């Protein structure tokens, strides 16, 4: 198949991990005879430096015309002055809004080989397989902001329609999994959460085969650590989802491991690891590209419909997590490019084994 993929490497470790993900996609294209055309554009701090805007028109236009967008990370100390008129993160938020990608899928899986890195004991890690569905284009991130010298406000607003669509997405996904949705809110305090809860409750009636539970976000932060294996699909609003998924990454062993897919109504999606620009390690060649590579696998699955290819990439990543090499954040000494080479070598092996298997089954060659 032919696909047009826009890459937005961004700032800090963004370009390092994106290069690894692109190399893996190129290896997939070579193995399976696909034509992926990559087009690189600016976003974030590097875009501010080059054009004055964190999301230049050319970048947005290219993303709107692409089949999928692969993003690294934005931001960093250079652009973090609280007085700065424009910030890198605004470019990312504007892109999410413009693409209409309201459902941010953030899967949490714990690889057994990394269990010792988790703050949780091994018995708690068994059966951990959670899919966070984070609402991505509403809430406090996008409400009106005011500022006077001694007061600041961020409006948190949700409409029923915004909650309905992300809830339906969560229930649809739950039907492909273990049919259990946990909706996380702060309905004991926030009006937006009361609207969230009643809307989720009403939509749940359309899915009688899926179990729904509500959980307040503060206790959810605790329960995620004490019983992570209990959860299947967790749907929540923008800010709560941001915070809970970094916590989830700690359970997996590193922030560098978790991928994400941001989806709207069509097949076009935005794919990014959940971590940031990691200024403390940027430019050192030591960033873990696993989250970015697994985001590329999600791109294959959700935007291009290439399920087998996605599964091959995930299997290759799992093999590297099992046998190494490992980057520093997960206890190894390898660099970003070592992981990229190892994943591509594992991919080559998996594809060859699969071909041998099918060939054997058909008694060919």
Binding region: 76-89, 96, 106, 134, 218, 242, 246, 276-288
Active site residue 242: yes
- Is residue 176 within 8 Å of residue 187, measured between CB atoms? no
- Is residue 127 within 8 Å of residue 141, measured between CB atoms? no
Please give the residues from 259 up to 318 whose contact with ligand IPM meets the rule CB under 6 A: 274, 276
Active site residue 246: yes
Please give the residues from 14 up to 43 whose contact with ligand NAD meets the rule CB under 6 A: 17
CA distance 43 to 46: 6
CA distance 252 to 114: 7
Active site residue 232: no
Query: What are the φ and ψ backbone dihedral angles of 200, each rounded to 5 degrees?
Result: -60, -45
Asked if 92 interacts with ligand IPM (CB under 6 A), we say: yes
Asked if 55 interacts with ligand NAD (CB under 6 A), we say: no
Please report which helix (H) or strand (E) contains residue 156, including its range.
none
CA distance 62 to 257: 28
Both tokens assigned to 90: 């605004």
Helical H segments across the chain, by residue range: 14-32, 45-51, 57-65, 88-99, 122-125, 160-175, 191-204, 217-226, 238-252, 290-302, 307-323, 336-362
Please give the residues from 233 up to 252 whose contact with Mg ion meets the rule CB under 5 A: 242
CA distance 68 to 304: 8
Active site residue 141: yes
Catalytic option among 185, 242, 329, 338: 242
Asked if 135 interacts with Mg ion (CB under 5 A), we say: no
HSE of 290 in the Cβ direction (CA atoms, 13 Å)? 30
- To ligand IPM, the closest distance from the beta carbon of 279 in angstroms equals 13
Interacting span for ligand IPM (CB under 6 A) from 12-20, 89-97, 305-313, 326-334: 89-97
Residue 281 binding partner per list ligand IPM, ligand NAD, Mg ion, none, with a CB distance cut-off of 5 to 8 Å that depends on partner kind: ligand NAD
Please give the residues from 211 up to 250 whose contact with ligand IPM meets the rule CB under 6 A: 242
- To ligand NAD, the closest distance from the beta carbon of 194 in angstroms equals 29
- To ligand IPM, the closest distance from the beta carbon of 136 in angstroms equals 7
CA distance 229 to 9: 34
Q: Which of 15, 75, 241, 253 binds ligand NAD (CB under 6 A)?
A: 75
Interacting span for ligand NAD (CB under 6 A) from 73-81, 123-131, 207-215, 338-346: 73-81
Beta bridge partners of residue 181, listed in sequence order: 212, 233
- Is residue 7 within 8 Å of residue 39, measured between CB atoms? yes
- To ligand NAD, the closest distance from the beta carbon of 249 in angstroms equals 8
SS (H, E, C) 35-78: EEEEEECCCCHHHHHHHCCCCCHHHHHHHHHCCEEEEEECCCHH
Active site residue 145: no
Q: Which is nearer to ligand IPM, 130 or 344 (CB)?
A: 130
**Count residues contacting ligand NAD (CB under 6 A)?**
22
CA distance 300 to 265: 17
Interacting span for ligand NAD (CB under 6 A) from 71-79, 174-182, 186-194, 263-271: 71-79
Q: Which is nearer to ligand IPM, 142 or 231 (CB)?
A: 142
Binding residues for Mg(2+): 218, 242, 246
Q: Which of 67, 314, 329, 338 binds ligand NAD (CB under 6 A)?
A: 329
**Count residues contacting ligand IPM (CB under 6 A)?**
7
Helical H segments across 136-188, by residue range: 160-175
Both tokens assigned to 287: 């960033």
Would you tell me which residues interact with ligand NAD (CB under 6 A)?
A: 13, 17, 73-76, 80, 89, 92, 255-256, 272, 275-281, 287-288, 329
Would you tell me which residues interact with ligand IPM (CB under 6 A)?
A: 75, 89, 92-93, 242, 274, 276
Would you tell me which residues interact with Mg ion (CB under 5 A)?
A: 242
Q: Which residues are known catalytic residues? A: 141, 186, 218, 242, 246
């Amino acid at each position: 198949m032919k696909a047009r993929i826009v890459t937005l490497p961004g700032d800090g470790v963004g370009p390092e991990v994106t290069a690894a993900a692109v190399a893996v996609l190129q290896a997939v294209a070579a193995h399976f005879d696909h034509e992926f055309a990559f087009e690189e554009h600016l976003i974030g701090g590097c875009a501010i430096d080059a054009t004055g805007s964190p999301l230049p028109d050319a970048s947005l236009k290219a993303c709107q015309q692409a089949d999928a967008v692969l993003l690294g990370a934005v931001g960093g100390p250079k652009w973090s002055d609280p007085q700065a008129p424009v910030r890198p993160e605004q470019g990312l938020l504007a892109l999410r809004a413009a693409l209409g990608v309201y459902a941010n899928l953030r899967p949490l899986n714990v690889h057994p080989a990394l269990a010792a890195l988790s703050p949780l004991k091994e018995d708690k890690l068994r059966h951990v397989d959670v899919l966070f569905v984070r609402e991505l284009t509403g809430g406090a991130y996008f409400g009106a902001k005011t500022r006077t010298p001694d007061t600041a406000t961020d409006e948190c607003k949700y409409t029923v329609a915004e909650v309905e669509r992300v809830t339906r997405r969560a229930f649809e996904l739950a039907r492909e999994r273990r049919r259990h949705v946990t909706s996380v809110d702060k309905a004991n305090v926030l009006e937006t959460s009361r609207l969230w809860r009643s809307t989720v409750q009403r939509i749940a009636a359309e899915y009688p085969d899926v179990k729904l539970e509500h959980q307040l976000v503060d206790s959810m932060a605790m329960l995620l650590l004490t019983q992570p294996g209990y959860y299947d699909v967790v749907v929540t609003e923008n800010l709560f989802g941001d915070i809970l998924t970094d916590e989830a990454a700690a359970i997996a062993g590193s922030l560098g491991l978790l991928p994400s897919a941001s989806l709207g109504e069509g097949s076009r999606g935005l794919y990014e690891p959940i971590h940031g620009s990691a200024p403390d390690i940027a430019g050192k060649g030591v960033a873990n590209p696993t989250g970015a590579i697994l985001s590329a696998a999600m791109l294959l699955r959700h935007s291009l419909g290439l399920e087998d290819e996605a599964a091959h990439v995930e299997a290759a990543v799992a093999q590297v997590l099992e046998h190494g090499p490992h980057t520093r954040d997960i206890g190894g000494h390898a660099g970003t490019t070592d992981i990229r080479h190892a994943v591509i070598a594992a991919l080559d092996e998996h594809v060859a084994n699969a071909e041998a298997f099918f060939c054997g089954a058909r008694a060919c060659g």
